[in-house]
């Protein structure tokens, strides 16, 4: 075969191979109408790589890896999370590699390392075509970064674009065009810090919309009480899968009884199946996540008076506990910036009860209580924030936890997850009972961070008819189901609180209200709109209205409630960007008692075993 036809033949071979894998293994099929242009663009990429390659054999390996990531990698991401690879996933890659074990780690790491190594090894500039390829690559890169609108507007005009349905964008545009389109859009729509006028006008609008307190009751004074805030990894009610055929209810009867006393209240987190850090950001900082990125990674540059910092100013000890490596999702820096004085990670715990690499909730709760005992005994108020790890996919159980649940479902995760929930719910109830006995006046808040992954393309949910296989087919009720997890808030001796369906970003303000804290804080900016609760998701949002109706806001023309919430979200986003990545023109100053200055976050060091990241925070400085 003539050398000039090698890229054509290899592209045709690999395209067919990966197309078939994507279609039959992951049920993700690029539409026939998109194939000709997608193949042509891949062919251009192939000739570009070929022009810069010394050896044909190495070129073929590189091409196979690149196309494998584009076609099989996107199919895997769609099957797991409902959407294709996005530019921000590149920044989440380090955290992904930290969490993968065994063959999964090598399956993710080897292609990436292989592509980089082989490109360097096989690079050459011996022919005029190599110079032409380099010139085209440089020109395209400059355009993507500095003039992305030229690309985005041209492609959108030709192919269209669905802001809220990235899976459809992928299958209708093809992997290559989709990657160029969304890569350019990433730079075109990158979050930018607003100027002072925009930030302050948005802040003024948000505060003006807060209804006046017309209560005739005398104002109560702030009363510091301990807060035990527990994020439960992938915690959900498997019994909602009515066709799973479980031999018994996976949830502890005691948990279900307690949950019932809250009116089966639910949290509405911003994510499905992963990205726990976004649920953390909302429950600690009180602002919604609106995009498909991890806020802790690159969108929390400043030191901000989030819930931990606010409580530290009031004399609280603020402690975060998570039995994972400390740098995962950039938690060392993120926790410091939002006001935690102490961060206990995996090396700070005795690993005496493990489910593979995941520490059991039972030993985590026990060890955290041991660590905070001095504060409890001294009556020093504490924010005890716990992020559990047991319950993470793929739901392994240790020898001490035999399987108790069986099911009729053919989806493996439906059974393994139910057994995980069996133990998580019981260990949680033991913890809650112990805290209520030992610390009866404390506030206890527990919630699931997101729904669990139950098979490719929502298979476990589809079998019971609660979700569709494709997000574009979701009903309004399905969108709410997609991001609803159990939540229990116990207000000391007053008992459980009925809160209904509450977006996670409105939890920290609720906790301050339970303490009778009426001081102005940044949490006031996300005060709920009258008669609705707004849950943003990437590309859309939905409103839970007062009558229980769900109004999904995708694209104009909008309903009246969607117009109101869209304007509100625009203001919230502007203030959020100002606070977390901007000049903090809207930062609210808090009065500080001289007696507690020494223990404020800016005067302490976040305690963690990761010494190289353990730098003294500078919370008072605007950046």
In this structure, are 158 and 261 located in the same domain?
no
Is 165 strand, coil or helix? Answer: coil
**Do 550 and 479 meet the contact criterion of CB atoms below 8 Å apart?**
yes
In this structure, are 143 and 226 located in the same domain?
no
In this structure, are 175 and 236 located in the same domain?
no
Domains held by the chain: number? 2
Q: What pLDDT, on the 0 to 100 scale, is given for residue 420?
A: 97
Q: What pLDDT, on the 0 to 100 scale, is given for residue 617?
A: 31
In this structure, are 395 and 268 located in the same domain?
yes
Domain assignment present for 351: yes
Query: E strands, 458-559, where?
Result: 485-491, 501-503, 532-537, 540-545, 550-553
Q: What pLDDT, on the 0 to 100 scale, is given for residue 616?
A: 32
In this structure, are 144 and 226 located in the same domain?
no
Of 144, 166, 188, the residue at which a domain comes to its end is: 188
Q: Which range of residues forms the domain containing residue 318?
A: 222-531+593-604
Q: How many CB atoms lie within 10 A of CB 103?
A: 8
**Do 495 and 442 meet the contact criterion of CB atoms below 8 Å apart?**
no
Domain assignment present for 199: no
Domain assignment present for 566: no
Q: What pLDDT, on the 0 to 100 scale, is given for residue 513?
A: 95
One-letter-per-residue 3-state SS of 356-373? CCEECHHHHHHHHHHHHH
Q: Which of 130, 141, 117, 145 is nearest to 50 (CA)?
A: 130
Q: What pLDDT, on the 0 to 100 scale, is given for residue 596?
A: 53
Region class of 319: left (phi > 0), else alpha (psi between -120 and 50), else beta: beta
In this structure, are 180 and 234 located in the same domain?
no
Burial of residue 5, with CB atoms counted within 10 A of its CB: 0-12 exposed, 13-18 middle, 19 or more buried: exposed
Domain assignment present for 584: no
Of 163, 188, 213, the residue at which a domain comes to its end is: 188
Query: E strands, 269-426, where?
Result: 317-321, 342-344, 354-355, 358-359, 382-387
Domain assignment present for 506: yes
In this structure, are 248 and 168 located in the same domain?
no
The Cα–Cα gap between 545 and 530 comes to: 9
In this structure, are 408 and 347 located in the same domain?
yes
Instruction: Enumerate residue ranges in the chain where pLDDT < 50.
Output: 609-623
State pLDDT tens for residues 211-240: 887 666 777 889 899 999 999 999 999 999
Domain assignment present for 111: yes
**Do 500 and 263 meet the contact criterion of CB atoms below 8 Å apart?**
yes
Helix 56-67 to helix 6-26 angle (10° resolution) is: 30
Domain assignment present for 132: yes
The Cα–Cα gap between 284 and 295 comes to: 12
Q: Which of 211, 349, 285, 364 is nearest to 587 (CA)?
A: 285
Indicate the pTM of the whole model. 0.84
**Do 453 and 80 meet the contact criterion of CB atoms below 8 Å apart?**
yes
End-to-end CA distance of the chain: 60
The Cα–Cα gap between 608 and 332 comes to: 8
Domain assignment present for 213: no
In this structure, are 177 and 318 located in the same domain?
no
**Do 445 and 511 meet the contact criterion of CB atoms below 8 Å apart?**
yes
The Cα–Cα gap between 108 and 70 comes to: 13
Q: How many CB atoms lie within 10 A of CB 406?
A: 14
State pLDDT tens for residues 237-277: 999 999 999 999 999 999 999 999 999 999 999 999 889 99
State the greatest distance between any 2 C-alpha atoms of the chain, in Å, as a whole number: 89
What's the angle, vertex CA 63, arms to CA 59 and CA 66, rounded to 5?
140
Q: What pLDDT, on the 0 to 100 scale, is given for residue 600?
A: 61
Q: Which of 151, 170, 169 is nearest to 160 (CA)?
A: 169
Sort strands 317-321 and 382-387 into parallel, antiparallel or unpaired: parallel
In this structure, are 391 and 321 located in the same domain?
yes
In this structure, are 78 and 128 located in the same domain?
yes
Q: Which CATH number covers residue 316? A: 3.40.720.10
Query: To which H or E segment does residue 186 belong?
Result: helix 175-188
In this structure, are 287 and 364 located in the same domain?
yes
Helix 175-188 to helix 166-173 angle (10° resolution) is: 130
The Cα–Cα gap between 304 and 279 comes to: 17
Query: To which H or E segment does residue 229 belong?
Result: strand 227-232
**Do 151 and 41 meet the contact criterion of CB atoms below 8 Å apart?**
no
């Amino acid at each position: 075969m003539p050398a000039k036809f090698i890229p054509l033949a290899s592209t045709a071979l690999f395209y067919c191979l990966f197309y078939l894998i994507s279609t039959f293994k992951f049920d993700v099929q690029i539409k026939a109408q998109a194939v000709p242009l997608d193949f042509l663009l891949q062919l251009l990429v192939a000739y570009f790589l070929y022009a810069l390659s010394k050896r044909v054999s190495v070129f073929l390996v590189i091409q196979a890896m690149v196309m494998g990531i584009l076609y099989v990698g996107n199919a895997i991401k769609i099957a797991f999370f409902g959407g294709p690879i996005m530019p921000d996933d590149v920044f989440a890659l380090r955290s992904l590699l930290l969490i993968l074990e065994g063959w999964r780690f090598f399956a993710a790491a080897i292609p990436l390392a292989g592509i980089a190594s082989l490109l360097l090894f096989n690079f050459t500039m011996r022919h005029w075509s190599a110079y032409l390829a380099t010139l085209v690559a440089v020109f395209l890169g400059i355009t993507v970064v500095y003039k992305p609108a030229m690309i985005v507007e041209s492609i959108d005009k030709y192919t269209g674009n669905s802001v809220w349905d990235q899976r459809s964008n992928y299958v209708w545009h093809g992997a290559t065009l989709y990657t160029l389109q969304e890569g350019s859009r990433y730079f075109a729509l990158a979050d930018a810090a607003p100027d002072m006028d925009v930030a302050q006008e948005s802040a003024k609008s948000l505060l003006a919309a807060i209804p006046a307190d017309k209560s005739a009751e005398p104002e109560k004074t702030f009363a510091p009480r301990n807060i035990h805030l527990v994020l439960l990894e992938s915690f959900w009610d498997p019994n909602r899968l009515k066709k799973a055929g479980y031999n018994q209810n996976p949830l502890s009867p005691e948990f279900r009884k307690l949950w019932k006393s809250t009116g089966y209240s639910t949290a509405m987190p911003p994510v499905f199946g992963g990205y726990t850090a976004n649920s953390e950001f909302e429950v600690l900082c009180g602002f919604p996540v609106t995009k498909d990125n991890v806020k802790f990674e690159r969108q929390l540059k400043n030191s901000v008076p989030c819930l931990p910092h606010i409580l530290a100013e009031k004399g609280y000890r603020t402690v975060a506990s998570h039995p994972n490596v400390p740098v995962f999702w950039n938690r060392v820096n993120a926790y410091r910036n939002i006001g935690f004085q102490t961060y206990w990670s995996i090396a700070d715990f005795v690993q005496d009860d493990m489910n593979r690499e995941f520490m059991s909730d039972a030993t985590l709760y026990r060890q955290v209580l041991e660590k905070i005992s001095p504060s409890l005994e001294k009556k020093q108020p504490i924010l005890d924030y716990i992020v559990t790890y047991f319950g993470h996919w793929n739901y392994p159980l240790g020898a001490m936890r035999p399987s108790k649940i069986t099911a009729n479902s053919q989806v493996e995760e439906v059974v393994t997850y139910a057994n995980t929930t069996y133990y998580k719910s019981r260990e949680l109830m033991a913890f809650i009972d112990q805290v209520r006995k030992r610390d009866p006046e404390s506030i206890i808040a527990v919630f699931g961070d997101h729904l669990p992954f139950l098979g490719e393309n929502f298979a476990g949910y589809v079998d019971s008819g609660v979700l569709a296989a494709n997000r574009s087919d979701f009903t309004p009720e399905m969108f709410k189901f997609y991001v609803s997890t159990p939540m229990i808030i116990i207000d000391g001796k007053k008992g459980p609180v009925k809160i209904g369906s509450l977006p996670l970003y409105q939890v920290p303000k609720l906790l301050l209200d339970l303490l009778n804290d009426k001081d102005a804080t940044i949490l006031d900016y996300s005060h709920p709109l009258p008669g609705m609760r707004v849950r943003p998701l990437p590309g859309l949002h939905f409103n839970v209205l007062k009558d229980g109706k769900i109004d999904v806001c995708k694209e104009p023309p909008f309903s009246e409630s969607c117009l109101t919430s869209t304007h509100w979200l625009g203001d919230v986003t502007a203030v959020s960007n100002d606070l977390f990545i901007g000049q903090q023109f809207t930062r609210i100053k808090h009065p500080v008692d001289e007696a507690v200055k020494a223990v404020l976050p800016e005067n302490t060091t976040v305690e963690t075993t990761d010494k190289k990241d353990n730098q003294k925070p500078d919370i008072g400085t605007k950046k």
